[in-house]
Structure 1
Amino acid sequence: MGEAAFADWGWRIPFLISVILLGVSLWIRLQLEESPVFKQMKEEGTTSKAPLTEAFGRWENLKWVIVALFGAVAGQAVVWYSGQFYALFFLEKTLKVDGATANILIAIALALGTPFFILFGWLSDKIGRKPIILAGCALAALTYFPAFHMLTTAANPVMAKAQASAAVTVNADPGACAFQFDPVGKEKFESTGCDIAKSALAKAGVSYTSVTRPRRTGEPADVWIGKRVLVAPEPWRLAEEDRAAAAEAFRKELAAATAAAGYPAKADLDAMNKPLVVAILFYLVLLVTMVYGPIAALLVELFPSRIRYTAMSLPYHIGNGWFGGFLPTTAFAMVAATGNIYYGLWYPVIVAVITLIVGLLFLPETFRRSLHP
């Protein structure tokens, strides 16, 4: 329908169509009955009168909440968000693949991977929940860096070549460089020349090396692109009304310099190895299915029936909402701070390793447990 029409009114259409999904979900919910175990507990009057206190105020229950969070859900969350959301972010924002193509490639990988949710859920009924979830975390920790390097070469080979042949360096006083964590997307990071330079490079998907300059009051940050040097504007030296224009002029100069050094403004679809991109994305989705397929059954089986709903909600929602939800923002901040476009992967890798260790040591196998009290 075109960008103008979509921005004006077309974006409302998916929300209107979702009314159909709301009706379907409401119908499904009305068909559901309580489990036989819960019905029995209600009849016998043995349901918990204070589920919050019982779930989180007693160590014998709270310890399993903590084990579930760090020994299963946190790792599941970062693998899930990396394989779907961060992979899309990386393709579109870092590798400069246009939005439509990036979404189509992700959609193909998801379509291919979706049956494996059922497969790994079924397999967890045979061999257990724990080995499948922890194997997914282990594979993620071991293979994320080579997988995303391979994704760069396959999706934007011109950028991969530029990274190898035209190194970019930012020289600045580290005290003048902020950690660019922006969870709500409102911060512009224009208070220092270092922030302006690093933010522009990170958003352009240009990998760079940070060089610590000896602290010298007032010395501006500069960016080396091959043998060319660009000096970043220092806002404190300029009149307030001139700061925004100076920052924008520097960003344009930086974009022109990186383009001249071989860094593409967008990915060349003709040069892209689309089958390989889909194969890599499918592998990332496959790891998602390994950790997510068995997770609901594991959480249900881990907690006593009388507090199950309350006890499993906290690790599931904190794990996915916080550990997973902040992944793109945190990873981008890590990239902007270090200059390495792959450095943000340390976040999911470290969390996955923590889950692997805690899960191996403390998480029990649950697949043969009775759901009765």
Structure 2
Amino acid sequence: MATTTSENTEAGVTKRQFLLIFASSFGALLEWYDFYVYAALAGVFGSLFFPSGNDTTAFLASLATFGAGFLVRPLGALFFGRLGDRIGRKYTFMATIVLMGVSTVGVGLLPSYERIGMAAPILLVALRLLQGFALGGETGGAATYLAEHSPPTKRGFYTSSLQTTATLGLLTSIVVVGVTRGLMDESNFRAGGWRVPFLVSIVLLAVSVYLRTKLSESPTFQRMKHAGKLSASPIGESFGTWGNLKYVLIMLFSTASGVGVVFGTGHFYSMYFLQNTLKVAPNTVNLFLAIALVGVFPFYLLFGWLSDRIGRKWIMMLACLLLAVTTQPIFRVLTHYANPKLEAFQRNAPVTVHASGCNFSLFAAPSSDCDRIRTFLSAAGVSYEQAPQLRGRAAHTTIGRVEVEGADQAALERALVANGWSKHADPATVNGPMVVLLMWLLLLYLAMVYGPMAAFMVELFPARIRYTSLSLPFHLGSGWFGGMLPFVVSAMSVAAGNVYFGLWYPIVIAAISFVVGALFVPETYRRDITQ
């Protein structure tokens, strides 16, 4: 594939440029698909790979395992970033895709907890860590590679194609998981059908590797290499000098953390909230999310294109501000349109737990009546108040005007049902168009910040240490703030007894990102990236 440079013609996208974009983006799509398949099956993995007996704990453990892949991404960013700045962009992100594909296939071959005990979650976490390690090198490499091939006035538009792969990867995972589930009953799916989406990645990996073998090295890297200007210590130059480190920190606490919480809220937590709190059927939620993803897809390209004309900074910062202001209202309105019976129940039948000995233990079984009551209510998607246990009485729960003694789940469920609670959202009362619109709105915020971001990151740092400099803050921000978001938000909500409480996490992070970005992020869209 012939090399294109940043001095390319300003005419429309040529055939060779299209092939360059497609080859770069397809590999990124595979990596996101691999990562999202686990997200789509997090609820199933809780029962397959963790001890039984506490559904809430198993689900949180599954989310924590999902988040573990994000936590290790900064290590991958340092390792592969250094390689990318020393030996080249092309060979480095070829290695990341192979590692990602192999670890994903490995998940599809894992025995369950029932067969090998604690070895199952340990191996699952290890493979998730390998996935995250590989992804830590992919984003920075693909962004750097494609931006260094792009015409200066179309850099945002060209690189926004990479950002669409996150959406396409999630959409592909939803389709594959949905089709697989549709071809068998739930028992067969849990018995072995869940492996199919992971094994499908073998085909995608083969295509990705073939396409990447056709890519040429970045022209900017080639010029630096021939001129003897490669960095001898990309990590030291990136983080050991204040002139560069300050931009690393600015990016970390503005655009990177901002994209992380926008990403986690729109792509993941909205899905978990609908399924596990509002009790909407998983296939219905996947359908709603798929429609929203298709609807938001062109906006990644639109905001990338727009950032080439008016700048990148304020488009990204506006997304952070909108998330901070509208998250609580959006999720409360989601409840209204997705499960109005639950909304009415919470309004008309307040729940109070009168108990002592209450603990929040993530990976242990409930040890007291208080723990058992709260675990049951959290799994039911019910908010509750905590009150002291009355002297001389056992732990009990007030549900509307009904009091339930002890922690008998059947009695608690009967009291909930008597007051208007339902175990599942009634499909007849789910307002699909409004739910899709609200999910689309959250995803639109992501398109605003994510569409221009690849070009922004590349423009922020000098070419000789670019791969390393942008990869670490991006994965610290998006991985740590965003990757752990479903787990942190869910755990905060469970600990507080309020299904909306955990949402303050993305709200606060998004607000901080907006303030830091507004004050310190420079505008970059006219910078020369060849130096």
TM-score of the two chains, using structure 2 as the length reference: 0.63
Describe the shift of the 1:359–1:219 C-alpha distance in structure 2 as closer, same or farther (beyond 3 A): farther
Instruction: Give SS of 1:46's match.
Output: coil
Q: Name the counterpart of 1:356.
A: 514
Residue 285, structure 1, aligned to residue 443, structure 2: yes
Residue 400 (structure 2) aligned to one of 226, 251, 262: 226
Residue 7, structure 1, aligned to residue 190, structure 2: yes
Residue 369 (structure 2) aligned to one of 187, 193, 198: 193
Residue 245 (structure 2) aligned to one of 41, 59, 62: 62
Pairwise mapping of residues 123-138 of structure 1 onto structure 2 (< 5 A)?
123-138=306-321
Instruction: Give SS of 1:224's match.
Output: strand
Deviation, structure 1 residue 219: 7.0
Where has structure 1 moved over 6 Å in runs of 4 or more? none
Contact conserved, 1:179 with 1:333, CA < 8 A, in 2? no
Q: Name the counterpart of 2:359.
A: 178
Distance in 2 (CA, whole Å) between partners of 1:219 and 1:46 is: 77
Instruction: Give SS of 1:169's match.
Output: strand
Q: Alignment RMSD, CA only? A: 1.8
Contact conserved, 2:342 with 2:421, CA < 8 A, in 1? yes
Instruction: Give SS of 2:530's match.
Output: coil
Residue 209, structure 1, aligned to residue 367, structure 2: no
- Indicate the percent of aligned positions where both proteins have the same amino acid: 47
Q: Name the counterpart of 1:239.
A: none
Q: Name the counterpart of 1:243.
A: none
Q: What letter corresponds to residue 525 of structure 2 in structure 1?
A: F
Pairwise mapping of residues 1-373 of structure 1 onto structure 2 (< 5 A)?
1-173=184-356, 176-179=357-360, 182=362, 186-188=363-365, 190-211=366-387, 213=388, 221-232=395-406, 250-373=408-531
Cα deviation, 1:269-317, whole Å, max 9, x if unaligned, reads 0111111111111111111111111111111111111111111111111
Moved more, 157-166 or 23-32: 23-32
Cα deviation, 1:5-57, whole Å, max 9, x if unaligned, reads 22233222222322221122212322222322211110111111111111112
Instruction: Give SS of 1:194's match.
Output: helix
TM-score of the two chains, using structure 1 as the length reference: 0.89
Deviation, structure 1 residue 138: 0.6
Instruction: Give SS of 1:210's match.
Output: strand
Moved more, 65-74 or 219-228: 219-228
Contact conserved, 1:83 with 1:281, CA < 8 A, in 2? yes
Distance in 1 (CA, whole Å) between partners of 2:188 and 2:390 is: 51
Describe the shift of the 1:338–1:16 C-alpha distance in structure 2 as closer, same or farther (beyond 3 A): closer
Distance in 2 (CA, whole Å) between partners of 1:257 and 1:139 is: 39
Distance in 1 (CA, whole Å) between partners of 2:475 and 2:463 is: 19
Contact conserved, 2:295 with 2:440, CA < 8 A, in 1? yes
Deviation, structure 1 residue 214: 8.1
Deviation, structure 1 residue 118: 0.9
Cα deviation, 1:80-124, whole Å, max 9, x if unaligned, reads 110111000000000000111111111111111111111111111
Q: Name the counterpart of 2:11.
A: none
Deviation, structure 1 residue 177: 3.1
Q: What letter corresponds to residue 359 of structure 2 in structure 1?
A: A
Deviation, structure 1 residue 215: 10
Distance in 1 (CA, whole Å) between partners of 2:358 and 2:475 is: 33
Alignment gaps of 5+ in structure 1 = 234-249
Distance in 2 (CA, whole Å) between partners of 1:280 and 1:19 is: 35
Cα deviation, 1:248-285, whole Å, max 9, x if unaligned, reads xx222222211111111000001111111111111111
Instruction: Give SS of 1:11's match.
Output: helix
Contact conserved, 2:239 with 2:245, CA < 8 A, in 1? yes
Q: What letter corresponds to residue 386 of structure 2 in structure 1?
A: S
Distance in 2 (CA, whole Å) between partners of 1:40 and 1:256 is: 72
Describe the shift of the 1:219–1:43 C-alpha distance in structure 2 as closer, same or farther (beyond 3 A): farther
Cα deviation, 1:49-88, whole Å, max 9, x if unaligned, reads 1111111122222221111111111111111110111000
Cα deviation, 1:154-177, whole Å, max 9, x if unaligned, reads 11111111111111112345xx33
Distance in 2 (CA, whole Å) between partners of 1:215 and 1:231 is: 12
Instruction: Give SS of 2:346's match.
Output: helix
Contact conserved, 2:258 with 2:478, CA < 8 A, in 1? no
Contact conserved, 1:193 with 1:221, CA < 8 A, in 2? yes
Q: Which has the bigger relative contact order, CA under 8 A and spacing at least 6?
A: 1
Aligned residues: 348
Describe the shift of the 1:335–1:313 C-alpha distance in structure 2 as closer, same or farther (beyond 3 A): same
Q: What letter corresponds to residue 205 of structure 1 in structure 2?
A: G
Describe the shift of the 1:313–1:219 C-alpha distance in structure 2 as closer, same or farther (beyond 3 A): farther
Contact conserved, 1:79 with 1:288, CA < 8 A, in 2? yes
Instruction: Give SS of 1:341's match.
Output: coil
Distance in 1 (CA, whole Å) between partners of 2:503 and 2:331 is: 9
Distance in 2 (CA, whole Å) between partners of 1:172 and 1:287 is: 42
Q: Name the counterpart of 1:247.
A: none
Alignment gaps of 5+ in structure 2 = 1-183
Q: What letter corresponds to residue 187 of structure 1 in structure 2?
A: A
Describe the shift of the 1:67–1:220 C-alpha distance in structure 2 as closer, same or farther (beyond 3 A): farther
Contact conserved, 1:196 with 1:232, CA < 8 A, in 2? no
Higher helix share: 2
Distance in 2 (CA, whole Å) between partners of 1:135 and 1:202 is: 34
Instruction: Give SS of 1:365's match.
Output: coil
